[in-house]
Structure 1
Amino acid sequence: MESVSGISKEISSDDVEKAFAEDWFTVVYQPQFSLSRDTGFTGAEAFVRLKHPEHGLMIPGAFLPMVDSMHKMRELTERVVALVANDWIALSEQGTDINVAINVDRSLLHIDGFGKALGKTLKQHKVPRQKITLEFTGLLEPDFLSETVRKSLMELHLKGFCISLDGFSVAESSQSLPDDVVIDEIKLDRDLVKSLLTKERCKDAMRSAMHNANRFSMRVVAVGIEDEETADFLARNGCDRGQGYYFGTPEEFSTLRDTYVEGADERHSGAERANILIVEDDVQYLNLLNESLSDNYNVRTTDCLRGAREALQDFSPDIVIIDLNLPDGRGVDLSGSGELGDNVSTIFISGAKEFASRLEAYEAGGMDFIEKPFSIRELMAKIRQMATYQLRSRDMSDRNKESQQMVMRSLQQTAYYGDIVQFFKNILVCTDEEQLSREFFRFSAGKGLRTAIEFRSKNTVSSYDQDMGVCSPTEVNIFEVLKEKGRLYEFAQRMMVNDDHVSFLVKNVPVDSVEKGELRDYVAVLVEALEARYREILRQRIVNEATEVMQELVQQLLSLVNVDSGEKKELLDDYSMELKMSFHVLQLTLEQENYLTDIIEKMLNHNEAAEKSTVEISNTVEYILKQMATDLAELEVKAPAAEEESAGGSTVELF
Structure 2
Amino acid sequence: MLDDEPGAVFLVKRTLSEFDVSGFTTSDEFLNALDTGFDCILLDVQLDEMSGYEICRQLRAQRQTENIPVIFISGDTTLSGRIAGYEAGGDDFITKPFDINELQAKVRRILAQQGYRRELISTVEESRQAAFEAMTHSAEQGEIVRFMEQISFCNSQASLADALLTLLSGFGLKAVVAFWPNTEDVSDKAAYFALNSAVSELEIELLLSAQHERRIMEFGRRMIVNYPNASLLIKNIPDQDVSRYGRIKDHLCVLLSATEARVRMMKTEAKVKLQQVLLLTVTDVRAALAHIRDSQAEQIRSAADMRQDMVIDLQDQLLLLNLNASQEGGLFELIERYVAQIDDSYREALRWSDALQPIVKTLEDIVQRRMS
- TM-score, normalised relative to structure 2: 0.43
- Tell me which of the two structures has the higher relative contact order, counting C-alpha pairs closer than 8 angstroms and 6 or more residues apart: 2
- TM-score, normalised relative to structure 1: 0.25
